[in-house]
A and B are shown apart, each in its own frame.
Chain A
Amino acid sequence: MRRALTEPPLVRGALLAVALVFLAIFLVMPLVAVFAQALEKGFGAYLTALREPDAWAAIRLTLLTAAIAVPMNLAFGLAASWAIAKFEFPGKGTLLTLIDLPFAVSPVISGMIFVLLFGRQGLLGPFLGAHDVKVIFAVPGIVLATVFVTFPFVARELIPVMQALGNEEEEAARVLGAGGWQIFFRVTLPNVKWGVLYGVILCNARAMGEFGAVSVVSGHIRGLTNTIPLHVEILYNEYNFQAAFAVASLLAFLALVTLLAKSVVEWRSGRAARPEAPVREAA
Chain B
Amino acid sequence: MSSASPRRRVLPGFGLTLGFTLLYLSLIVLVPLSTLALRTASMGWGPFWATVTSPRVLASYRLTFGASLAAAALNGVFGLVVAWVLARHRFPGQKVVDALVDLPFALPTAVAGIALTSLYSPNGWFGRPLEAMGLKVAFTPLGIVVALTFIGLPFVVRTLQPVIEDLDVEVEEAAASLGAGRRQTFAHVILPALFPAWLTGFALAFARALGEYGSVVFIAGNMPMRTEITSLLIITKLEQYDYAGATAIAVVMLVASFLLLGAINRLQSWASRRGAAA
Q: Which residues of A contact B (CB under 8 A)?
A: 1, 3-8, 11-12, 15-16, 18-20, 22-23, 25-31, 33-34, 37, 75-76, 79-80, 82-84, 86-90, 95, 98-99, 101-102, 104-109, 112-117, 119-123, 144, 147-148, 151, 167, 170-171, 174-175, 179-180, 183-184, 202, 205, 208-212, 215-216, 228-230, 232-233, 236, 241, 244-245, 248, 251-252, 254-256, 258-260, 262-263, 272-279, 281-282
Contacts and interface: CB of A to CB of B under 8 A. Distances in A.
A29 B126 contact: yes
Contact of A211 (B88, B207, B214): B214
A277 B212 contact: no
Contacts of A275: 154-155, 158-159, 201, 204
Contacts, number: 330
B248 to A, nearest CB: 12
B254 to A, nearest CB: 6
B36 A15 contact: no
Given A112-B250, A121-B243, A259-B103, A27 B153 contact: yes
B17 A79 contact: yes
Contacts of A109: 36, 211, 234, 250, 253-254
A101 B125 CA distance: 39
B126 to A, nearest CB: 7
B108 A251 contact: yes
B107 A209 contact: yes
* Residue with the greatest number of chain A CB neighbours at <10 A, chosen from B12, B126, B162, B165: B12
Given A112-B234, A123-B38, A278-B207, A8 B110 contact: no
Interface of B: 1, 3-5, 8-14, 16-18, 20-22, 24-25, 28-33, 35-36, 38-39, 78, 81-82, 84-86, 88-89, 91, 95, 97-112, 114-116, 118-119, 125-126, 146, 149-150, 153-155, 158-159, 161-162, 165, 169, 172-173, 175-177, 180-182, 185, 201, 204, 207-208, 210-214, 218, 231-232, 234-235, 238, 241, 243, 246-247, 250, 253-254, 257-258, 261, 264-265, 268-269, 271-272
A25 to B, nearest CB: 8
Contacts of B95: 263
B268 to A, nearest CB: 4
B14 A86 contact: yes
Nearest to B78: A22
Given A87-B4, A104-B257, A209-B108, A232 B21 contact: no
Contacts of A252: 107, 111
Nearest to A145: B32
Nearest to B2: A90
A275 B158 CA distance: 5
B66 to A, nearest CB: 17
